[in-house]
A and B are shown apart, each in its own frame.
Chain A
Amino acid sequence: MPDSGAVLAKKPAIDVDKIRKDFPVLSRTIDGKPLIYLDNAATTQKPWSVINRLFKFESEEYGTVRRGAYKLSERSTRLYEESRRKVADFLGAASKEEIVFTSGTTQSINLVAYSFGRRFVNAGDEVVISNIEHHANTVPWQVLCEEKGAVLKVIPVNDDGELIMTEYDKLLSKKTRLVAVNHVSNALGTVNPVREIVRKARAVGAKVLIDGAQSTPHMKIDVRELDCDFYTFSGHKMYGPSGVGGLYGKMEVLETMPPYVTGGDMIVQVTLEKTTYAKPPSRFEAGTPPISQVIGLGTAIDYLNGVGMDKIGEYEHSLLEYGTRLLRDIPGLRIIGTARDKASIISFYLDAAHPHDVVTILDQDGIALRGGHHCAQPTMKRFGVPATARASMSFYNKYEELDALAASIRRTIKIFS
């Protein structure tokens, strides 16, 4: 890893001062101190373009979708479907019909667990996850396996928080129905070798779900090149509104799946005897969707494309290097998650203070970050800590903010020692 001076000497991939003007919340103060927002893995802030789009849509254009034959509804429907196109292009899907809007990653994974899982996972079958999953990609599979008498297998990780791929090889067999792993771990920042994971799962005929909640904000995704069957994301982690997210599913797989939630909008015909289901994605979008949120998500994707995912990745990587360097130098601080390939997330544990106390002291300095188990209790257990404090960086963060973070951590250690 280059030293912090070398990181600073490089011309940044992004003009961060200019970017920051796009995000109104970043100029506010918390108890008189400038806000330093480092909880981007939990949720991201919104640029003006998204805020303004939501305002305009709500105040001038709002109408229901897929139902009305009047101007407002037709326009809403068109905007809604345009967003689907934007998401499809953003993820590299073959068609926009492969994108199902949901309330977010949690619902997307549940959709697959209940619809695909109930139909295709049977007694004695196996589902493979990893030791560094969010509970959203753990509990639905536990529930499914329990219900079906299937077996849940877990890929272990090494002390750096990297999946042990030789162990993964051993878990795969003809019994493997599905492999479900995250692209980027929210608790540690590890970027998993998803291409290899998919290729190996394919070789035994298993389907693959990639939880992309943490990858979509940081890197260019190409689901076709990846060749996965499912890919999930959350709008609120991609600078868009909360309450919306989605599921990419290969059309040939989606077509085999029964509906998960039933009701209006997912049917072709309902008689009192029988219902014929609509094609994907409508089959999986019963009820009135979060219309404004979907449209806001489309605008967030426009924004990300405007900045450029490559530049975002490059700049965030230099923030990661810089921050890692600063934090590693603090005596009594242990970084949890030291994989070679990481996204801009630094989880850490102090000998002197519990993560909750760290977060409370940092908050007094205007620094917002998360302390807790990050909905990844099995990961915490693997690393022998009850919880960690986690700084997660976005392309709107500055090196100076990481300097402030390091100073505040040192102050915390002093208080509790």
Chain B
Amino acid sequence: MSYSSELYQQVILDHNRKPRNFREMPNATHFCHGFNPLCGDDITVYLDVDNDHVIQDVSFTGSGCAISKASSSLMTVHLKGKKIEESKVIFDEFHKMVLGEFDPEKSENHLGKLTLFMGVREFPSRIKCASLSWHAMIGALEKKAEGITTE
């Protein structure tokens, strides 16, 4: 299987087993609950954003499949220290990548390690797993108190 079509890369499996920043954040400035009713994936993303719009800390809790857990975990690692505006750009690139509308191998991007999730585009039923925590992150920044769902 080619690099890009392999869904369960070692790094993804590792983040599934040992998710990073997997904790509640009592002093979060923003948080949002994300739910995928199709598979029951249920993830809450917490952010601590300072006055300069820099994400000082980001974490998540909840349960889900390997793809949604690893995606959440890698997202938290990637976004720590980024500005809100940058995060929105990265969200956009990530979202388009898993939908197959953006090819990070051909375009300049801000995805870093997140290109590991490129394989998701070959698995239409898993796109929502990969993007759940990202939608929750954006929901948190937009202060969506009611949470977000993928449906």
Interface positions of A (Cβ within 8 A of B): 353-357, 360-361, 371-373, 377, 380, 386-387, 415-416
Give bound CA distance, A94 to B78, whole Å: 68
B16 close to A (CB within 8 Å) = yes
Q: Say how far A201's CB is from chain B's closest CB, in angstroms.
A: 32
Decide yes or no: A416 and B66 within 8 Å by CB, A356-B126, A356-B129, A360-B126 being known contacts.
yes
| Residue from the list B13, B17, B39, B67 in contact with A371, Cβ < 8 A | B39
Q: Check if A415 sits within 8 Å of B39, measured CB to CB.
A: no
* Residues 90 to 135 of chain B near chain A (Cβ within 8 Å): 123, 125-126, 129
- What are 7 sample pairs from A and B whose C-beta atoms fall under 8 A apart? A353-B66, A355-B39, A357-B65, A360-B123, A373-B40, A386-B40, A386-B64
Q: Check if A354 sits within 8 Å of B66, measured CB to CB.
A: yes
| Residue from the list B13, B16, B63, B123 in contact with A386, Cβ < 8 A | B63
Give bound CA distance, A353 to B16, whole Å: 10
Contacts of B125 in A (CB 8 A): 356
B8 close to A (CB within 8 Å) = yes
Give bound CA distance, A88 to B144, whole Å: 53
Q: Check if B41 sits within 8 Å of A386, measured CB to CB.
A: yes
Give bound CA distance, A416 to B67, whole Å: 11
Q: Check if B39 sits within 8 Å of A387, measured CB to CB.
A: yes
Q: Which residue of chain B has its CB nearest to the CB of A385?
A: B40
Q: Check if B64 sits within 8 Å of A354, measured CB to CB.
A: yes
Give the B interface residue count (CB, 8 A): 19
Give bound CA distance, A371 to B7, whole Å: 17
| Residue from the list A373, A377, A415 in contact with B8, Cβ < 8 A | A415
| Residue from the list A355, A360, A387 in contact with B7, Cβ < 8 A | A360
Contacts of A371 in B (CB 8 A): 39
* Residues 9 to 66 of chain B near chain A (Cβ within 8 Å): 13, 16-17, 38-42, 63-66
Contacts of B16 in A (CB 8 A): 416
Q: Say how far B58's CB is from chain A's closest CB, in angstroms.
A: 23
| Residue from the list B13, B17, B42, B67 in contact with A356, Cβ < 8 A | B67
Q: Which residue of chain A has its CB nearest to the CB of B42?
A: A386
Decide yes or no: A386 and B66 within 8 Å by CB, A356-B129, A360-B7, A415-B8 being known contacts.
no
Contacts of B39 in A (CB 8 A): 354-356, 371-373, 386-387
Could you say which of A357, A371, A377, A387 has the most chain B C-beta atoms within 10 Å of its C-beta? A357
Q: Say how far B41's CB is from chain A's closest CB, in angstroms.
A: 7
Q: Check if A380 sits within 8 Å of B13, measured CB to CB.
A: no
Contacts of A377 in B (CB 8 A): 40
Q: Which residue of chain B has its CB nearest to the CB of A361?
A: B8
Contacts of A372 in B (CB 8 A): 38-40
| Residue from the list A356, A373, A380 in contact with B65, Cβ < 8 A | A356
Q: Check if B13 sits within 8 Å of A415, measured CB to CB.
A: yes
Contacts of B40 in A (CB 8 A): 372-373, 377, 380, 386-387
Q: Say how far A412's CB is from chain B's closest CB, in angstroms.
A: 10
Q: Say how far B40's CB is from chain A's closest CB, in angstroms.
A: 3
Q: Say how far A345's CB is from chain B's closest CB, in angstroms.
A: 19
Q: Say how far A122's CB is from chain B's closest CB, in angstroms.
A: 32
Q: Which residue of chain B has its CB nearest to the CB of A371?
A: B39
Give bound CA distance, A416 to B17, whole Å: 8
Give bound CA distance, A242 to B6, whole Å: 34
Known: A360-B8, A415-B8, A416-B17. 20 other contacts (CB 8 A): A355-B65, A356-B39, A356-B65, A356-B125, A356-B129, A357-B66, A360-B123, A371-B39, A372-B38, A373-B39, A373-B40, A380-B40, A386-B40, A386-B41, A386-B63, A387-B39, A387-B40, A415-B13, A416-B13, A416-B66
